[in-house]
Structure 1
Amino acid sequence: MKNQKTLKKRPRKENIETEIQNSCPDCNSTDFDYNQSRGEVICKHCGLIIDENVMDFGPEWRAFDHEQRNRRTRVGAPTTNTIHDYGLPTTIDWKNNNISSKNLPQWYRMRKWQKKIRVSGARERNLAFALTELDRKCSNLGLSRNIRESASLVYRKALDNNLIRGRTIQGVVAASIYISCRLCDLPRTLGEVANALNVTKKELGRVHRFLVRKLKIKLSPISPKSYIPRFACELKLSEKSQVKAIEIIEKSQSEGLTIGKGPNGVAAAALYIASQLLGERKSQRDVAEVAGVTEVTLRNRYKELCQNLNLGVTI
């Protein structure tokens, strides 16, 4: 006899606790609590974690009334801002297994028109091209999914407010990525983003300031401490050097020495001083290249910190 497939029903979310284990192995209690955010099943009596990393089969959205639940109920992958149609298209498969030869021309015409209708109008063409470019550039920079979503949302807002006209798509995409990095507290310098996206630093700065002003986005100032782990990793410095550099930056901030100075230049100078103090010597050229500043800027920040903080380093 041939083996027949047996389809198993998906477990209901509210019954996950009882299906994992019937009783607590420590106190034999059957009163469990399911923590959805952490994916853990916890005994309410003794606090023992019965199971962890439990898969949640429920939807990723929430509904607070019956009308909202009916409106959000759907199937398929979750919606995303990185695709111009939010990832909710319909496709006609190109396989013609059960289609007669008489109906083939009709199916070909349906596929062709569906492909054309999916991107219709100048706005959708602009959005489809820009979001594809944005996703590719984020991959080159190694940025996470939440930053791509945030950058796509910034670009959509700019397009809805007619801020794209008179500016290149590459420039607005680069500015959206830089703004999302700032919003998500992921330090990326203007030079890094400009080089990765093939735009000039001047254009990126101009478009970035324009979008922040028009969209009323509040960006907190970048702290030089946020650059320390990445710069130290690229320079192959120890954790002691990182801790020492952060101490130097904190002292300089308390003295007001970082006001009006570029955060990457201050971080580079603090790392250079820390490497000199701990015997992990790095050349000024190497530190300047990693930080994306000139050697003159590095020397100026280095001299200012040494003179005002009395760090015991000869200039």
Structure 2
Amino acid sequence: MTQNESISECRHPRKVKNNGYWVCPLCAEVLDRVITFHPKRAFSEEEVKSRRQTEPVLKKWAHRTLSDDSRDYLNKKIPNNTKRMFNRCNKWQIQAWTNESLNRNLITSESLFRTLKSNFSTPDYVWKEAKKIYFKCAEKQLSRGRSIKDLVIASLYTSMRVHEQPGSLKDLLTDSGFNIKKNRIAKCFKLLVQEGILSELGLILKPAAPPINKYCSDLGLSLEESNKIIKFYNKIPFKLKNGRDLNGVAGAAIYIFSSKSQREVAEVVGVSEATVRTRYKELENIAFKKERLYK
């Protein structure tokens, strides 16, 4: 038998790799090219996103499967041990379903927003704006080295300032139930303004509106008196509000149109009696010149 006949009769019982090709070791015939299904290595963020195939896609504000309620779907109370187990499973679920730190950040902040929303009766558009502001913070990686809780509260306070919702930062921290110092939230609030997040979203920051309705309710004033005070407060010129504590201005307006003493007003508003007297002297001429408008 010649060599050519032996090569033609070889049916390639086995094959080996040689320089990127499958080669028969008996007859040295090149059978096929070695094809690897391993993806190419990605060195930049764009290559990672373009070659990503099997990662689950999540919404910006995805709801988790764990409920905040303490009862199951049969309305049976969940034991504390089971609840702790579900909390641990929820943490692992977040880590398993999110490969990017941005998604983990947004899911953590979503739970904090739900906790805050249960403590406040703020309109829905304020919460939506606060989430947009926080999403911009997370995109710019402002949460690195800072607490997510601080940025969430600062975003909510910024949204309240944009939509002129009454409430001070002190009241916000008191009602939130979080043990956080005021200066930490103030630093995060200044950071949001300095980074230009509001200008990117087309928002305008407005002065904080004091909760005049709350003050009038605590003082036991009637609805007619509170409406008169709010109407007068909205007519006060900007130059008399700029650079001043607006709670003191609101206290002076309450003192003008009510029969309460300076001490009672100062205790409810949270300023000193001297502040109420000073603001009263500034607003006295305006109030009595336009008194016929508020009767």
In which range does the TM-score fall when normalised by the shorter chain?
A: 0.5 to 0.7
Secondary structure of 2:195's counterpart equals helix
Output aligned runs, 1:117-266, within 5 Å: 117-195=96-174, 196=176, 197-217=178-198, 218-222=203-207, 227-249=211-233, 252-253=236-237, 256-266=239-249
Would you say how many aligned residue pairs link Structure 1 and Structure 2?
Answer: 206
In the alignment, is residue 297 of structure 1 matched against residue 275 of structure 2? yes
Partner SS state of residue 140, structure 1: coil
Deviations 1:150-177 (A, max 9, x none): 2222111101011112322221111011
- Structure 2 CA distance for partners of 1:138 and 1:293, relative to 1, 3 Å: farther
Q: Is the 8 A contact 2:225 2:257 kept in 1?
A: yes
> Is contact 1:245–1:274 with CA below 8 Å preserved after alignment?
yes
The structure with more radius of gyration: 2
Which secondary structure does the structure 2 equivalent of 1:191 belong to?
helix
State the Cα deviation string for residues 239-259 of structure 1 (Å, max 9, x = none).
Answer: 3322432354355427x4223
Question: Shift in Å at residue 295 of structure 1?
Answer: 4.0
* Structure 1 residue aligned with 2:17: none
Match of 1:40 in 2: none
Q: What is the letter of the counterpart of residue 116 of structure 2? A: K
Aligned-CA RMSD value: 3.6
Partner residue in 2 for 1:288: 266
Residue 247 of structure 2 aligns to a residue whose secondary structure is helix
1:114/1:214 Cα in 2 relative to 1: closer, same or farther (>3 Å)?
A: closer
Change (3 A) 1:292 1:183: same
Q: Aligned equivalents of 2:193 and 2:117: distance in 1?
A: 20
What CA deviation, in whole Å up to 9, does each residue of 1:85-132 have, x standing for no partner? x3498xxxx99xxxxxxxxxxxxxxx9986653344433333222221
Q: Which amino acid aligns with 1:238?
A: S
Bigger RCO (CA 8 Å, 6+ sep): 2
How far did residue 142 of structure 1 move? 2.6
Is the Cα contact below 8 Å between 1:191 and 1:292 reproduced in 2? no
Q: Secondary structure at the match of 1:172?
A: helix
% identical aligned pairs: 30
Structure 1 segments unaligned to the other structure (5+ residues)? 1-78, 96-110
**Amino acid aligned to 2:265:** V
User: Relative to structure 1, is the Cα distance of residues 133 and 284 closer, same or farther in structure 2, using a 3 angstrom cutoff?
Assistant: farther
